[in-house]
């Protein structure tokens, strides 16, 4: 009987020992967890048993440096808080808490970096941070196309210049470039196998040629220039682009159509351009007379020459004159500004030896003993008398017309009154009687 009692106690104790861990598991399920991740931004995530915790308090503090993200935050519905990317590498402590528990962690945050991709003869990936090259950064390249045969996929590390060089694909290729250096940045790119060539004629007649691939200049590209038919052009032949992927060609001596072919690696492109002859000499001659015209105006005492010069330039080269060329609307003799008036200089006019009011005649000392003066005075008096007589004659003519009209009326009356006719009573009989 005693042995049975001991065996029963042993079984109960074993059962109790098996239940105790269950209470410990419940405590573990209720504990908080906090995690910090950084891609292109910094994210703090608070969870409990794998589920997001909303309204949890998150405190962020820099360990050894200043950080703009230091402070207290509250998690959103998805249990996260977004923090700013630091200007420089910094270590932070992050503490999360709610009414049921607390959790803490530390993290190293990195400043953001720039990822640029240029495609010339090769594909060049460059990683910089604050405009400085970032060395030993991991660059992963993957294709986003099915059954891709691009041989540039793989993992690389940037060199001292922060660059990784990838091969140009045989055909256009969709790729993903992922860079990781504390921060992870991914870019989706389209790499092309072809090149582009453009040609444009400048105002002076010269020609500018540009060769690019995917918008990036191609240095040392082959460029050939030819003309259609039997046309002549100075810069036909073979050339190479400079470091900027550019080439300058001469202005044509006549209107001509050229074909520009460019090639780089296994890619090629071409374009045609109609060139026009630009007669710069004719333009220079048209404007060469401006200085002569100005000299002429000044020598002839003309003031306010600006409007006249503007008129001259416009008339001699109207094709290149701007819309606003020419004198201002208020310019001319009607303006208030004396300098804009046209005409002879102020000292222009008759010589001082001429008479008053511009009267003409010989100098005062001309003629013997002043006879010329007397003759001049007589001529003036005669002229005045003639003018007076002319005016009197005109008035007399008017009066005569009126008198004739009155006489006609009187004659009509006399005809009615005098039946016998004969001379008037006041007339004589011819003998003075």
At 357 the pLDDT is: 52
Least confident of 15-29, 118-132, 243-257, 357-371: 15-29
Q: How far is the first Cα of the chain from the last one, in angstroms, to the nearest whole number?
A: 216
Instruction: Select the more confidently predicted residue: 329 or 138.
Output: 138
Angle, CA of 150, 151 and 155, to the nearest 5°: 115
At 390 the pLDDT is: 46
Whether the pLDDT of residue 420 is over 90: the answer is no
CA-closest candidate to residue 192, choices 212, 209, 211: 212
Give the C-alpha separation, 357 to 369, whole Å: 25
At 403 the pLDDT is: 47
Cβ contacts of 6 within 8 Å, gap of 6 or more: none
Decide if 90 contacts 109 (C-beta within 8 A).
yes
Q: How many Cβ atoms from other residues are within 10 Å of residue 352's Cβ?
A: 5
Decide if 314 contacts 293 (C-beta within 8 A).
no
Instruction: Select the more confidently predicted residue: 1 or 309.
Output: 309
Q: At what angle do helices 280-288 and 290-299 cross, to 10 degrees?
A: 0
Residue 433 — pLDDT band, cuts 50, 70, 90?
very low
Most confident of the ranges 24-33, 271-280, 355-364: 271-280
Most confident of the ranges 76-85, 318-327, 404-413: 76-85
Decide if 201 contacts 273 (C-beta within 8 A).
yes
DSSP string spanning 369-430? GGHHHHHHHHHHHHHHHHHHHHHHHHHHHHHHHHHHHHHHHHHHHHHHH-SS--S-TTS--S
At 81 the pLDDT is: 95
E strand or H helix at 291:
helix 290-299
At 343 the pLDDT is: 54
Look at the block and give the residue holding tokens 């998150």.
58
Residue 132 — pLDDT band, cuts 50, 70, 90?
confident
């Amino acid at each position: 009987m005693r042995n049975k009692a001991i065996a029963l106690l042993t079984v109960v104790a074993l059962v109790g020992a098996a239940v105790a861990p269950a209470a410990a598991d419940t405590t573990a399920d209720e504990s908080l967890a906090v995690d910090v991740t950084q891609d292109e931004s910094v994210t703090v995530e608070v969870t409990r048993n794998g589920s997001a915790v909303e309204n949890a308090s998150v405190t962020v503090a820099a360990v050894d440096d200043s950080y703009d993200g230091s402070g207290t935050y509250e998690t959103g519905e998805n249990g996260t808080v977004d923090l700013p990317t630091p200007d420089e590498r910094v270590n932070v402590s992050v503490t999360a808490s709610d009414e049921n528990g607390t959790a803490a962690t530390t993290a190293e945050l990195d400043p953001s970096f720039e990822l640029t991709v240029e495609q010339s003869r090769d594909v060049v990936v460059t990683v910089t941070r604050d405009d400085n090259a970032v060395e030993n950064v991991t660059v992963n390249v993957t294709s986003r196309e099915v059954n891709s045969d691009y041989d540039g996929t793989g993992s690389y590390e940037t060199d001292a210049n922060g660059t990784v060089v990838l091969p140009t694909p045989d055909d256009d290729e969709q790729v993903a470039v992922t860079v990781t250096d504390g921060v992870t940045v991914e870019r989706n790119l389209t790499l092309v196998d072809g090149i582009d060539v453009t040609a444009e004629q400048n105002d002076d007649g010269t020609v500018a040629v540009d060769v690019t691939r995917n918008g990036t200049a191609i240095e040392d590209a082959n460029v050939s220039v030819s003309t259609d038919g039997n046309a002549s052009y100075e810069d036909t032949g073979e050339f190479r682009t400079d470091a900027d992927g550019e080439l300058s060609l001469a202005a044509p001596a006549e209107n001509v159509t050229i074909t520009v072919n460019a090639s780089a690696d296994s890619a090629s492109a071409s374009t045609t351009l109609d060139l026009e002859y630009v007669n710069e000499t004719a333009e220079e001659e048209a404007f060469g007379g401006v200085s002569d015209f100005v000299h002429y105006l000044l020598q002839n005492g003309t003031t306010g020459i600006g409007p006249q010069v503007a008129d001259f330039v416009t008339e001699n080269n109207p094709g290149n004159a701007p819309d606003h060329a020419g004198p201002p609307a208020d310019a001319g003799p009607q303006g208030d500004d004396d300098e804009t008036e046209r005409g002879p200089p102020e000292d222009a006019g008759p010589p001082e030896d001429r008479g008053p009011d511009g009267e003409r005649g010989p100098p005062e000392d001309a003629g013997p003993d002043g006879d010329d003066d007397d003759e001049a005075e007589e001529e003036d008096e005669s002229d005045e008398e003639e003018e007076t007589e002319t005016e009197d004659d005109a008035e007399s003519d008017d009066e005569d017309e009126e008198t004739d009209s009155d006489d006609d009326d009187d004659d009509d009356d006399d005809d009615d009154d005098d039946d016998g006719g004969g001379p008037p009573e006041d007339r004589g009989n011819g003998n003075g009687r």
